[in-house]
A and B are shown apart, each in its own frame.
Chain A
Amino acid sequence: MAFGIEAEKEVIMKANKKDVLTGSYYIDGDVAAAYGAIAAGCKFVGGYPITPSTEAFEAFVHRAPYVGGITIQMEDELGSIASILGAVWSGKKAMTITSGPGFSLMMENIGLGAMLETPFVLLNVQRSGPSTGLPTQAGQADMMQSRWGANGDYEIIAISPDSPQEMFDYTIKAFNLSEKYRCPVMIMADECVGHMTEKVVVPEADKINIEPRRFYKGPKEKYLPFKPDKDLVPPMAKAGDGYKLHISGLTHDEKGYPTFSQTPDTKRLVDKIRLNADKIIELNEDEIDDADVVVVSYGITSRVAIRGIEQARAKGLKVGNLRLVTVWPFPEKRIAELSKKVKAFVVPEINYGQIVYEVERCAHGNANVVLVPHGGGFVHNPEDIFKAIKYAAQEKKKVEGIIEHKTELYRLIHEKNS
């Protein structure tokens, strides 16, 4: 018998008035994310400064004392993520903020978070890599890392906002998803969105829905920390409430005790996301229905792509726009569906090809896949995206594999030399 969420499914919780600074602001994406976190009820941030995510941490530090929150600047990223895991288990909603190299350092404990089914939010304001790379400039090259970066099998949810307003909105959503599925949720923003200053409207508190933590409600002695409800997510308890928890990063059974081989129950870590994917995935679609070419993009690139798409439409091309709001879990079904209808997908991203592999996989050879790469340091030239669309619309042949569109920058750097 499952206790917990079933009983109070109907209860819709609203944000706390004190936490929401209703009004409209002219702020950057980092700050908006901090405001969003506070509105979502986040009371703890363990952080470590790293460009370009620092502003989010700073904004949280400034507001925290007024909303009953607390912050700590830890000694490194390993410490900051471990501290938020601890804070979550003592009952707080928590977030950490990082970028590039810091994200790489967090890998081990992201695995721990997934293993302990700890709901937390990680804001990664991506910069260009690898290694130190370009600290102050945009990149989108951590997308695959967010999904695969830690050892072992687990699934996470990743959201990619494209404006400061979305940084606010989707930070709240990220908290809601993490509480609902008890998994790490990553906000994969990028430097452009993080440092972009725009109007952000903070709605009234009662307009903001909050997913409460699914605390266990049954008798204490019957509590099994990893016994799932029907939706594969177990209800949670917090330390200090007398549940005699044993929570271990080792492979464990329902009780939380270590086991010596994986049980089918371990697979729940991936299944709870994979089987609930339809409920999690959010996409923005525009003129998809009769499109020949669909541009698949996310984050800041999706805003740059609009210009390229408009140019192409002006030339009479039928171009649809598919924006991934949730990047992980990947919208497999939708891409597979579209692949049968369209000629080609055009995937611009600020990396040398990551999400494009997923698009290619889900297209199952039904449509061409064109990659418009950008090494980082800036956003695409919309012209490149337009040219790629033009090419994709004209290509009659089915081309095997990913077609890489040679951008202006590529020609400038590599063809001039040779």
Chain B
Amino acid sequence: MSNTWYLYLFFAAALVFAGLLGLLAKRNLIKLLIAIEIVGKGVSLLLLSTGLAKAHILTAQALVVTYIVIEVSLVATALALIINIRRQTGGLDIRSLTRLKG
């Protein structure tokens, strides 16, 4: 199995990189969160494929499940923040969030 490990890693890296590019380029707060989700997908793919390569798929599965639960918590918190920000600033542009600097 381990000879296909690199294949999964190739796609995992692609996902992470796509997410990072999105984080750097996009300005809509929700878009940024979607980009974070993409990064997360890449990482969970990496985690599971590593377990597969080591013939530890059950453990890796447990890790991925925990990872997903954490992700949900994060996304819920982030979305709550975004809604609050929308209420306060009237927009969703990350560029308007530059009051704190220096």
A binds B: no
